[in-house]
Amino acid sequence: MSHQLRGKAACVGMATTGMGEAPGRSAMDLMAGAVLDALEDAGIPLAEVDGVFAANAVHSMASMSLSEHLGIVPVISDNSNVGGSSFMQHALLAATALEAGLINVAVIAYGSNQRSAGGFQGVSEPLPYEAQFKPRNPITSYALVTSHYLDRFGVTREQLAEVPVAARAWANLNPEAFMYDKGPLTVEEVLAARMISDPLGKLDCCLVTDGGAAIVMTRADRAKDTRHTPVHLLGAGVAHYHRMISTMPDLAVTAATTSGERAYAMAGLRAADMDSVQLYDAFSINTLLFLEDLGFCAKGEAADFIKGGHIAPGGGLPVNTNGGGLSCVHPGMYGLFVMIEAISQIRATLDGAPAPRDAGGWVPETKLALAHGNGGVLSAQATTIWGAPDTV
């Protein structure tokens, strides 16, 4: 018997705002604007919204600030924050509240003007037992894991560099990507970039951009008369093993192993069923770890798996098809953009391209897409699986 939440909620509207640089606009401008655009995309009036889910680095009670700004009196108001994967967790909680009949229309929202406001804005407090040694988190933690991974599996920086190279190739097809017109990237350029925290150089690290995003979710029955074909949430799972990197149980195994198992179990699907895969690539190592932990290849084999452009346009598995956090957009917390790309690829199959892309930017016949979020220092993992109506 399938899980009671499988396919019961669907995304019926989505929007991004101020992708890249949005000078003169606040985080709230971007977040609230994205909500209104997403509702317009759905064809649902603001007055029907009764579930508000939001998190960012600016508003400590983001759903309250957002509701006030838009004049919503929500039945469910949720700011749960597990870093960049918060929004996948919001999708699971929204689906639960929708199916329980507590709410009818949920919005999930994010906004950040960090680039225009002067740079990366973290949400983390200094971590006890680590802060004294002056790690520059998040990068120090990711660099430590990368050093361990490369040593343990005999992987080189050259092999790792295939990740940002593939991400850039996708970005080169996406006019909304920050690096769209910056040309292709080579392995040599990745290796020659300024070292930030060994073995991670500048081009192993995500962009620092502005951006807002929102999606609208409702029950499948309500979704039938919206403007676009609904894209259903088939499965979702969240998990975290640690908060501080020194407490990560196995430095080469993330909690995506568990979040993925949970999402696949709810959806009744497995990795091989996915037509496109969106993975939260805050750093190049993420893509290798998540391909393994989510079952696309065995542990330690991701470098072999991706070689020869296997995850690049025209390869065997389309991964991070918007250009990823490495080359499309990364406004501090990137998770909602990951989900929007997964949903967009399915909508492109159902309703035609939601936005212009160069040839190959929309993956033909995408009906099942995985969107995986990552939060903290490879800590909070959240996996969502989205599908076209005929996959429910």
Partner 1 sequence: MTDVAEATGPEAQYRAYLAEGRFMIQKSRSSGQYVFYPRVAEPGTGARDLEWVAPSGLGRVCATTVTRQRPEKGGDYNIAMVDLDEGPRVLSRVTGMAPDEVTIGLRVEAYVDELDGAPAVLFRKVEGAQ
The yes or no reply on residue 128 touching partner 1 (CB under 8 A) is yes
* Long-range CB contacts for residues 116-124, cutoff 8 Å, separation at least 24: 116/21, 116/22, 116/23, 116/24, 116/25, 116/210, 119/208, 120/208, 120/332, 121/57, 121/58, 121/332, 122/57, 122/332, 123/56, 123/57, 123/81, 123/83, 123/332, 123/333, 124/83, 124/376
Residue 196 vs 392, nearer CB to partner 1 = 196
CB of 208 vs partner 1, minimal distance in Å: 17
Residue 71 vs 119, nearer CB to partner 1 = 119
253 φ, ψ (degrees, to nearest 5):
-130, 115
Which position among 129, 359, 365, 390 is part of the footprint of partner 1 (CB under 8 A)? 129
The yes or no reply on residue 18 touching partner 1 (CB under 8 A) is no
CB of 38 vs partner 1, minimal distance in Å: 40
Residue 200 vs 267, nearer CB to partner 1 = 200
Which position among 43, 80, 102, 136 is part of the footprint of partner 1 (CB under 8 A)? 136
The yes or no reply on residue 71 touching partner 1 (CB under 8 A) is no
Strand partners, 383: 237, 372
Are 97 and 103 a contacting pair, CB within 8 Å? Answer: yes
The yes or no reply on residue 198 touching partner 1 (CB under 8 A) is yes
Are 236 and 6 a contacting pair, CB within 8 Å? Answer: no
**Residue among 148, 130, 250 at smallest CA distance from 199:** 148
Residue 131 vs 353, nearer CB to partner 1 = 131
Which position among 1, 24, 71, 132 is part of the footprint of partner 1 (CB under 8 A)? 132
Stretch that binds partner 1, among 67-75, 125-133, 173-181, 380-388 (CB under 8 A): 125-133
The yes or no reply on residue 194 touching partner 1 (CB under 8 A) is yes
The yes or no reply on residue 288 touching partner 1 (CB under 8 A) is no
Q: How buried is residue 360: exposed, middle or buried, by Cβ count under 10 Å (0-12/13-18/19+)?
A: middle
Interface characters, 144-173, with partner 1 (x: CB under 8 A): xx-xx--x----------------------
CB of 242 vs partner 1, minimal distance in Å: 10
User: Directed axis angle between helix 62-70 and helix 27-42, to 10°?
Assistant: 60
What CA–CA distance (Å, rounded) separates 391 from 19? 31
The yes or no reply on residue 351 touching partner 1 (CB under 8 A) is no
Stretch that binds partner 1, among 47-55, 77-85, 192-200, 321-329 (CB under 8 A): 192-200
DSSP letter (8 states) at residue 50 = -
Q: Is 76 left (phi over 0), alpha (psi -120 to 50) or beta?
A: beta
238 φ, ψ (degrees, to nearest 5):
-125, 155
The single-letter code of the amino acid at 236 is A
The yes or no reply on residue 135 touching partner 1 (CB under 8 A) is yes
Residue 114 vs 140, nearer CB to partner 1 = 140
Interface characters, 247-266, with partner 1 (x: CB under 8 A): x---x---------------
5 φ, ψ (degrees, to nearest 5):
-90, -10
CB of 132 vs partner 1, minimal distance in Å: 6
The yes or no reply on residue 124 touching partner 1 (CB under 8 A) is no
The yes or no reply on residue 245 touching partner 1 (CB under 8 A) is yes
Beta strands in the chain (DSSP E): 9-20, 51-54, 76-78, 105-112, 195-197, 200-201, 210-219, 231-240, 276-279, 368-375, 380-387
Which position among 111, 199, 237, 335 is part of the footprint of partner 1 (CB under 8 A)? 199
What residues line the site for partner 1 (CB under 8 A)?
A: 128-130, 132-136, 140, 143-145, 147-148, 151, 194-200, 244-247, 251
